[in-house]
Structure 1
Amino acid sequence: MTLRIGEIEYANIQPFFDKLDRDQLRSQGFQLKTDVPSSINQKLSEGSVDVAGISSFSYAQNAHDYSVLPDLSVSSKGEVRSLFLFSKVPIEQLEEKKIALTASSATTVHLLKIILIAFYGVHVQYQTMKPNLQEMLATNDAALLIGDDAIRAVRTASDLYVYDLGEQWYKHTGLPMTYALFAVRNDVLTSNSNDLERVYHAFVNSREVSKSNNYMDLSNRFTLKQGGTIDFWQSYFQNLWYHFNEENKRGLLYYYKLAYEYGFLSKSIHSISVWSKVHS
C-alpha cells in the first residue's frame, strides 16, 4: 500500500505542495486528496488518508494516534494576515455579543475563544455559518473568517474593527502560534516508513524551492486565482514561518494548556510526538 496524502487547499500551506512532482508521486502509487482543513482533519482521523497537513487542534484531539513530521508547520510570530475577527465594536466591548464562526478550522475557532476569554475576559454567543462576511454580520456583531475567505474579505472591511488573531496571540503571550502541522498515523510508521520518507523529503523540497525564488511562482498563481497584488502575496508568504522549532513547540503547548483549561480539549497535552526516522 502506498500512502494517501491529505492536502489543505488554503494558500498558507501551499509552499509544501506547490513544487511537488505530482505526476511522479502518482506514478509511484501515491494519492493526493485536497479539501478544506476540517475535512482533511476528519480524513486523517478516520484513516482515509495516511499523512496530511492538519490543524494543530486536530493533532491534539488525536495525539495518541499521530506523530508529527519534523520541522514542518504553518506558524507566525505575530500577524498571520489570514485569520481575522471582523467586528462592529472594539473587541473589549464584545461581552454578551454574538459572533459568527466559520466551521473550516478548529484551531482558529478555539484560538479566538481563548483570546476572548483569557486575554479580554469576554464571554459571547457563537453561531456557525457559511464564510460570507456580509451574511454573517447581518445577524451577528462580529465574524471570524480564515484562510482565503479572510484574505478576500479584509480588502473591503474598512468600516469594521479588524483583529489579526496571530497578532493578538503574540501580543498577549510573546509566543509564536502554530496553525497547522504535518501528521502521520502511527500505524503507518512501521509499514510504510520508506514511502513516508519519500513524501517527507518531497514536502521539504517544495518548501525550499518555493522559498528560493521568494515565493514568486506562488504569488503569481494566487494573484491570478484570488486577486490582490504580487507584492501582497509575496509579503504574505514571506511573513509566515514554515519550520517547527522549540519556540514553536512552547507556543503550541501553551495553546493546548489553555484549550484544556477552558474545556475545549478533553485531555491535557504535555508533549508533541515527532517522527525521528528521517535520513538525509
Structure 2
Amino acid sequence: MTRILHLSDLHFGFHRKELIGPLLDRINRARADIVVATGDLTHRGRPGQYEKAAEFLERITAPVMCVPGNHDVPLYNVPVRFLLPYSGYKQNISAELAPTMQSGQVRVLGLNSVDPFRVQRGVIREGQIGRVIGSLDPLSTNILALHHPLEQLPQVDKELSRRAPEALARLEQAGVHIVLSGHLHVWASDALLARTAHPKVLQIQVGTALCARLDDRQNEFAVLDIDGTELTVERHIAPMDQPDFQPPLIQRYSRASGIWEGFDQDSDIPILPGATETVFSTA
C-alpha cells in the first residue's frame, strides 16, 4: 500500500496562523510516502510569503512534491509577473515546476497549469500533455497533480483551464488513474465521478488547507491509501470556527471493473459559494 497526502491552497500571507500547528501535526502523523501540494502556496507570491511557505514545507517529515498555483506568481509586480513569473517559487520552493515522484507502485506526475498572463484561469499546454503521457508507468497507479482542475461542477463560476477537456480525454486514454487539484477552495470527488464522461479517471479536488477566507467555511486536506485497484480517501476537515481538524470522513473507491466506483461514502456534498471569486479575492 502507498499513502499519498494531498493538500492545496495554503495561501501563506492570508492564512489561519492558529491552524499551522494542527495541520503539521496531522501531516506528520499520517506518515505519508509522498506529500503532494497542488499550488497556491502563497497568497500574492511575495518574498515574505514564500519564506513562510518554505519554512512550513521544511517541517514536513515525508518527501514533498509541489506544483505552482496562480497565486504563486506576483499579482502587483507586473514586470516580474510577465518576465520572471516563477523566480520566487524556484528560489524558495523548487527549481522544478513539474516534478515526478515514485513510491512503490504509485507514480505522481506534476504539471504546471499556471498562465502568468491571466489572473485566475489556467492553461494546459500541448507539450505538457505529451510529456505526462510519455512519463506514465503502465505497471503503476498514475496520478496527475496540478493546481487547476481538468473538470468542474456546473455550479462553479470560474473558467476552466484552456485545453482542459482535451487533456482529460487524452490522459484517460493513456492511463492516468487519478487527478489531484485545488484552486476552487471546494471539495469534489463523488459529485464529479457521477457526472463525468471519463470514469477511468478519479478527480479529487481538495479545498484550501490554510486560507483564512471566511467564505470558504472550512480548511481541509486528504489522505489517499492506494492498494492496487483499491483506494481509501480520508478527508480531514477543520471548520473555520474550530481550532483543529475533526475525525476524518472516509470514502472508498475501486477501479477493479475498469472504471472508478465509490462505496460506503461519507458526505461528498460540495460547499458553495467557496468557488465564487473576484479578481482580487483568494481563489
Q: TM-score, normalised by structure 1?
A: 0.25
Q: Which has the higher contact order (CA 8 A, sep 6+)?
A: 1
Bigger radius of gyration among the two:
1
More helix by share: 1
Q: TM-score, normalised by structure 2?
A: 0.25
